[in-house]
Every structure is written in structure tokens, then in C-alpha cells.
Amino acid sequence: MKIKDLEIVKRQQLKEKPSEGVPFGTTFTDHMFIMEYEEGRGWHDARITPYSPLTLDPAAMIFHYGQTIFEGLKAYRTEDDRILLFRPEKNFERLNLSGERLSIPPVDEERVLEYLKTLIELEKDWVPSTPGHSLYIRPFIIATEPNLAVSPSKTYRMMILLSPVGPYFPGGLKPVTIHVEQEFTRAVKGGTGMAKTAGNYSSGYQAQAGAKKAGNADVLWLDGIEKRYIEEVGSMNIFFKINGEVVTPALSGSILKGVTRMSIIEVLKSWGIPVTERRIAIDELYDLYEKGHVEEAFGTGTAAVISPVGELNWGDKKMVFNDHNIGELSQKLYDTITGIQTGRRPDEFNWTVEVK
């Protein structure tokens, strides 16, 4: 696809690139992508501009009724200096799925991917070459109509921000301790849990603060109805290796359809390792754990790729997986996925998209 309708305004004086070790999500590149939507006119005025503040009416609907969706993906620099995206079409597909739930008009997925590629090409010097580093990509859409009526906005803005980031675990993969949340709920069937929308995230802060106070890195969310079935860990999907079989919660309507999650499932299948998407009750997991059947546990997401879980605290019960060490399969999955993402391994699934 050739992009003809994209205006590009370049910054005169480029920023200094940050040194390594800046915290996640705090440094942004020189430029950003913007596009506007107006009812009756559709998406228009796509442009790349210098990274700059956003000016909105204080009555803009995003501030009052939370009509907004976002995505998160990364660009990686290969050893031979190419720039790769990892299944970006899946992110824009999910952006539109989220948009449907939040009554936000869909974007043209292919076109937006071309816009993103143009932006990254312009910012290619920002894609880090240090191993484990990458360029985090944050597309998002916000409702901009200045109106306090509780109804969908007639205008929207889409933006894409780019932020160079270091490794999630600077010292290498490290199993974390997780609190099984029994009081607070992340999402429920019929709600917005399957959508990547802002309100799903801040609603978890109170539980996360409680978990951290008690020495845990994050929370494991249970379903909102029975408070029994495992859903997600922090803002990642979760997997368990049980008796040689890999199990992950089925997409129930309240779980995010992770791109890393689906990739892990496909990789496991290609290796002939049995993988099942099903309901897993926390009491079933504990039972299996007590019998010595739970071999590994790990979260999956764009930020960490694989985040091994070393310990689960469920009320006064504790489960320790693989003696707080990284499981063999967790490590192999991490190496495989990051290998494909960074071009160190052959992309046999045809998942990467090169930015030229």
C-alpha cells in the first residue's frame, strides 16, 4: 500500500537520544502520528508532527466518560540493522475489536500500519541496538468532543507515540511473587475486560498497591463472578505447565486476547507440546500443585514477553513453582519469541514485518 495522504512536519532541532536505563514509558521520540475523526467525514488529516503537547477542551469526553482505547507493540533492531515489527496487524485488529466495545469508529487497519511504518522509518535512529532494548509503540484513540452528555463522542483523535525502552528484567528473566486477588475484580463477563481500554488499568491500582505492600510484585486476577477461575496476571496473560501439558485460561470475554499469548500457543503447537485453553479454577491449580503436578507458571505480554511466576500467594496458601527458578520451557519460549522478534532466529511463522 502506498500512503499518499500523510502530511509530515519534521522537527527542526532533534532531541538528544537518552542514555540506557531510562525508566519504561518516560522518554519519547522526536515525532508522533496524529489522525482525526469526525462523524460524517470519517478518519482524516493523518499527519506526522513533532512530539508536542495535546490541546483539548476541558469538557472533551475523554476526561469525563473514558471513551478511549489503546494498543502496545514494539519495534526491534536486528543484528544486521533491520527494523522488525512483531505481528503488528494483530494489534490493529484488536484495536478495532476494543473500539467496537467502546463505540469508537474503526480505523483502516492496513492504512494505519502503513502510517506506523512511515513514522518508525522517520524515527529509525531511535530503535535501540542494545540487546534486550526496543522501541515501544503506543497507538491510542481518545474521544474529543466537548460535551458532558453521556453518549458516544462525534469526534476522535488517534495518536501513535514511540518510546525507547530497556529490558523488562534488566538482570535477565527473574521469577516474581504474585498475590491471588480475592477482594477486587478486574473485569467480568459483559464488561470491558476483553477490550484494551483505559478504565481497565487504573481499576487495578488499589489491588496492586495492596499486593505490593505484602511483598508481591503484582496480582493474579480471578473471574468476577465466582472469584474462582484464573484470568490474568497484572496486565499479562497467564500460562501453567501441568504434567507436561500447557494450560492457559480460555478467552472468556473478560480476558485480553494477547498477541504474545496467541504466539506462545502457536509455538507450543509447532513443537508438539499439548496446549489447552480452558477454565482453570484456583482451587484446582492448588490441588494439582499439592500433588506436585504444576511444573512452571509464567505471564505473557508485549512488555516482558515471558514473566516467570516463582510464587503464588492465595490467602494463607502458598504455591512455589520450580523452586523459584525459571522453568526450562519458559526460558525456551522466551528465547524463541525474542529470537524471532529480533531476527536472531528464522521467522518460520512469518510473524515479523520489516520497516523499510
> Binding of its own copies at residue 115 (CB under 8 A)?
no
CB 280 within 8 A of CB 249: yes
Which of 29, 98, 134, 208 is in the footprint of its own copies by CB under 8 A?
208
Which of 29, 67, 98, 338 is in the footprint of its own copies by CB under 8 A?
67
Q: Which are the contacts of 41, defined by CB distance < 8 A and separation ≥ 6?
A: none
CB 140 within 8 A of CB 72: no
301 φ/ψ angles, rounded to the nearest 5 degrees: -170, 170
> Binding of its own copies at residue 162 (CB under 8 A)?
no
Which of 209, 271, 315, 339 is in the footprint of its own copies by CB under 8 A?
209
> Binding of its own copies at residue 225 (CB under 8 A)?
yes
208 φ/ψ angles, rounded to the nearest 5 degrees: -65, -35
Task: Name the one range near its own copies by CB under 8 A: 11-19, 88-96, 227-235, 265-273.
Answer: 227-235
> Binding of its own copies at residue 273 (CB under 8 A)?
no
Choose between 184 and 277: whose C-beta lies nearer to its own copies: 184
CB 249 within 8 A of CB 282: no
> Binding of its own copies at residue 217 (CB under 8 A)?
no
Task: Name the one range near its own copies by CB under 8 A: 82-90, 112-120, 179-187, 238-246.
Answer: 179-187
In the complex, the smallest distance separating the C-beta of residue 34 from its own copies, rounded to whole angstroms, is: 9
Task: Name the one range near its own copies by CB under 8 A: 83-91, 151-159, 167-175, 310-318.
Answer: 151-159
338 φ/ψ angles, rounded to the nearest 5 degrees: -65, -30
> Binding of its own copies at residue 184 (CB under 8 A)?
yes
In the complex, the smallest distance separating the C-beta of residue 103 from its own copies, rounded to whole angstroms, is: 4
Cell of 158: 488517534
Q: What are the DSSP calls for 181-239, one per residue?
A: -SS--S--TTSSTTS--THHHHTTHHHHHHHHHTT-SEEEEEPTTTS-BEEEETTBEEE
Choose between 113 and 143: whose C-beta lies nearer to its own copies: 143
Q: Which are the contacts of 54, defined by CB distance < 8 A and separation ≥ 6?
A: 157, 159
Residues 280-339, interacting with its own copies (CB under 8 A)? none
Q: Count CB-CB contacts under 10 A for residue 168.
A: 16
CB 25 within 8 A of CB 19: no
What is the sign, positive or negative, of the torsion defined by CA atoms of 326, 328, 333, 334?
positive
Choose between 151 and 243: whose C-beta lies nearer to its own copies: 151
CB 129 within 8 A of CB 164: no
> Binding of its own copies at residue 140 (CB under 8 A)?
yes
Which of 11, 64, 228, 293 is in the footprint of its own copies by CB under 8 A?
64
Task: Name the one range near its own copies by CB under 8 A: 3-11, 224-232, 308-316, 343-351.
Answer: 224-232
- Cell 542494545 locates to 130
Residues 76-105, interacting with its own copies (CB under 8 A)? 100-103
3-state secondary structure of 168: coil
> Binding of its own copies at residue 203 (CB under 8 A)?
yes
CB 267 within 8 A of CB 339: no
235 φ/ψ angles, rounded to the nearest 5 degrees: -115, 40
Task: Name the one range near its own copies by CB under 8 A: 61-69, 273-281, 306-314, 327-335.
Answer: 61-69
Which of 5, 125, 129, 151 is in the footprint of its own copies by CB under 8 A?
151
Q: Which residues make up the interface to its own copies (CB under 8 A)? A: 23-26, 28, 32, 51, 53-68, 70, 100-103, 136, 138, 140, 142-143, 146-152, 159, 161, 163, 183-192, 197-206, 208-209, 224-225, 227, 234-235
